[in-house]
Amino acid sequence: MKKKDINILVIEDDLSSGTVLKEALAREGYTVKVCHRPTEVERVFALGDFHLLIVDCMLPRISGVDLVEQLQKNYEKDFSVLFVSGVFKNSAFSKDAIRRVKAAGFFFKPFDLEALLKSVYSIFEKDLEEEKDPLYELLASNKVSKNELLEAIRETESIQGKDLPLLYGLLFQSDISGILNLIDIDGQASALHFSKGDIVEVNVQDKTSYFGVLLIENGFTSPEEVEQNLSLDDKRPIGVRLVDAHALSPHAIKIALTQQMSIRLSKTIQENSYTINFIESTISEKPSKITSSNFYSLLSDWIDSKLSADWLLQFYLPWMDYQLVEIENNSLFQEVKDLPLLRVCPEVFKFAHEGCNLSELLEESKHPQHEVLAILHFLTIVKLLRFELDDNTQVDFKHKIKTLRNMLEGIENKDLFQRLGLNQKARSKEINRAYMDLVKVLHPDRLPSNAPTELHELQNKIFSYVSDAYKTLSDPKKRENYMNELNWGKAELAFETENKVDKGRGLLSQGRYTEAYQLFKTLDSGEFRRPDVPIYLCWALLKLPSHPEKKKIIIKKATALLKRVPPEERHNAVFFLVKGLFYLRSNNDEKAIINLTNARTLDPTLMEAKRELLALKQRYKQESSTFIHTIFRKKAF
């Protein structure tokens, strides 16, 4: 049975209360009818097949309890009952009402709506088919129509920041035009303008301009030209000024503006909660736009830099017993197959072709679990893979034990939000939704009778952690107290981390790379994650003395660290310095010089960049005819 198949009759003479209950229950997916007058109840009840009655005890001319007793006596129908009352508030009355009609519960007005919804869910929990939220249900679809997508957005209402890549992917595939509005928990609004599936405008609160940096980074113009034109008393955009001064091609403006939009889009994917809505309208096309091809590269970046292994595991936990199905789209496959993310584990398609479920894929793949899940996330979002439930699939006890062991490891050190797969700005509805999703997978009663003892023990332990988290976060007062404790601890940890980063930065400047590496390695595995820590850790790694035979290992580790840096953090002097060091280790002096020069341009006080350039110049001082010398003469000095 699905929620939409559950018919609920609300008997409430207060119009506003009846409307609130109807809307709340309908949002949860139930089919709801409201009767405001007792005289109409019997006619409605006789014509319908209702699974639950929510009844106010104080009705005109008859009590709600007497009314339910009449219905039970006159009709041989099986239905559950919940009572609500703003008048009869003593426990003796509520106990008697429950006893007389064997009601499932009694709520005193004003009641906690979330608690009532939870009680409704518990009545039907064992009979409900597994359902997912509208947007996530689309992971099981071959192709999503525009109307299906718009309906899913309307029903979703709010979304976690890390779930936005899925929403963006669906919009890019829809060929839709209109405005996606995002409003975060603090009331800050962002708007993305789509024109036939492409993003042509990104309006976010952060108005940082990356335009000049991007022009220099791409080699479209020189730092001197940018600085000279910025110093002029001219109100026109810097790009227009550079074009008029013949220092920039008009085509370069289009590329830089598209890249700037991509950076701002990336900034929406953060630890936050958004209410969402999409307004269909005609949006004019623009020369600068983020196309689906741009999006595929961005998506790969976001998965590498913004989605942790723990988050991916929790996201796909409800899909473990679903079969992977390959979606034939050769042109799209050819477009994305060479992305670095997909080259890591091409065997995912092999398992999908063989009809394996996700549990079997993770069990049998030779690659680490987080790599497999990262690739899977990309492929399901772009619609090269989908999920399909096979009713004949048997629970894979061996893999489930392994998965739950991974979940249990370190769960004590996670905050209560992380235990539910949420960030600390999650709304009450998202907390309830996340808990219910985990109940479907982790409730001990869901295990078959032949499940091994170890699986029962693991599932009981994890579910107790999840339940404790929900009990605290679903209670407004308990959540407020917990948040106060958490924020105090976060402030202390942030201050401590900042001091350690400053210390590590000092060690790097002094050339004490081994000490810096150990410090940043500890910070990188700690509870408080700063996006710049992988950059500094990579800097220290690349400057460590090492044997030539270990060069490939260092390059591989450095590549992994650089991939973890979010796109919006890749346009500052320190990142360019580290990229320069990376190319030095890779024996690509040309790219090393370009990046080190960019670092020095963005921050002339960054002496490490100057020292590396001087060392390179010394190496090439005898080779006046080389291209490298030309680069030095024109750009670096």
HEC states along 316-369?
Answer: HHHHCCEEEEECCCHHHHHHHCCCHHHHCCCHHHHHHHCCCEHHHHHHHCCCCH
Residue 132 lies in a domain: no
Rounded mean pLDDT of 428-444? 84
Using the predicted structure, report yes or no on whether residue 96 has a pLDDT greater than 70: yes
Indicate whether 282 and 170 sit together in one domain. Answer: yes
Residue 93 lies in a domain: yes
Indicate whether 271 and 146 sit together in one domain. Answer: yes
Using the predicted structure, report yes or no on whether residue 485 has a pLDDT greater than 70: yes
CA distance 445 to 150: 36
Residue 65 lies in a domain: yes
Q: How many domains does the chain have?
A: 4
Asked if the peptide bond before residue 110 counts as cis, ω within 30 degrees of 0, the response is yes
Using the predicted structure, report yes or no on whether residue 391 has a pLDDT greater than 70: no
CA distance 492 to 150: 43
Put residue 128 in one of left, alpha, beta given phi > 0 → left and psi -120 to 50 → alpha. Answer: beta
Q: Which of 288, 321, 348 is at the close of a domain?
A: 288
Residue 31 lies in a domain: yes
Rounded mean pLDDT of 506-533? 92
Using the predicted structure, report yes or no on whether residue 563 has a pLDDT greater than 60: yes
Nearest to 149 by CA among 172, 170, 180: 170
Residue 480 lies in a domain: no
Indicate whether 511 and 625 sit together in one domain. Answer: yes
Indicate whether 466 and 407 sit together in one domain. Answer: yes
Of all helices (H) and strands (E), which one includes residue 9?
strand 7-11
Per-residue pLDDT band for 130 (boundaries 50, 70, 90) equals low
- Joined tokens for residue 81: 């009952």
Q: What's the pTM?
A: 0.80
Q: Which of 127, 146, 162 is at the close of a domain?
A: 127
pLDDT at 626: 53
pLDDT at 624: 54
Indicate whether 267 and 321 sit together in one domain. Answer: no
* Structural domain harbouring 245: 137-288
Indicate whether 241 and 378 sit together in one domain. Answer: no
Residue 479 lies in a domain: no
Using the predicted structure, report yes or no on whether residue 622 has a pLDDT greater than 60: no
Residue 169 lies in a domain: yes
Indicate whether 504 and 453 sit together in one domain. Answer: no
Per-residue pLDDT band for 131 (boundaries 50, 70, 90) equals low
Using the predicted structure, report yes or no on whether residue 326 has a pLDDT greater than 70: yes
CATH number reported for the structural domain that contains residue 509 in this entry: 1.25.40.10
Using the predicted structure, report yes or no on whether residue 636 has a pLDDT greater than 50: no
Beta bridge partners of residue 199, listed in sequence order:
194, 290
Of all helices (H) and strands (E), which one includes residue 607?
helix 607-620
Pairing of strands 62-63, 178-184: unpaired
CA distance 259 to 414: 35
Q: Which of 78, 98, 127 is at the close of a domain?
A: 127
Indicate whether 281 and 405 sit together in one domain. Answer: no
pLDDT at 296: 95
CATH number reported for the structural domain that contains residue 78 in this entry: 3.40.50.2300
- Joined tokens for residue 305: 């830099």
Indicate whether 555 and 420 sit together in one domain. Answer: no
Residue 369 lies in a domain: yes
What is the rounded average pLDDT for all residues in the chain? 88
pLDDT at 637: 42
Indicate whether 282 and 345 sit together in one domain. Answer: no
Rounded mean pLDDT of 297-313? 93
Rounded mean pLDDT of 145-150? 92
Indicate whether 348 and 447 sit together in one domain. Answer: yes
Indicate whether 451 and 532 sit together in one domain. Answer: no
Q: 493 near 527, Cβ under 8 Å? A: yes
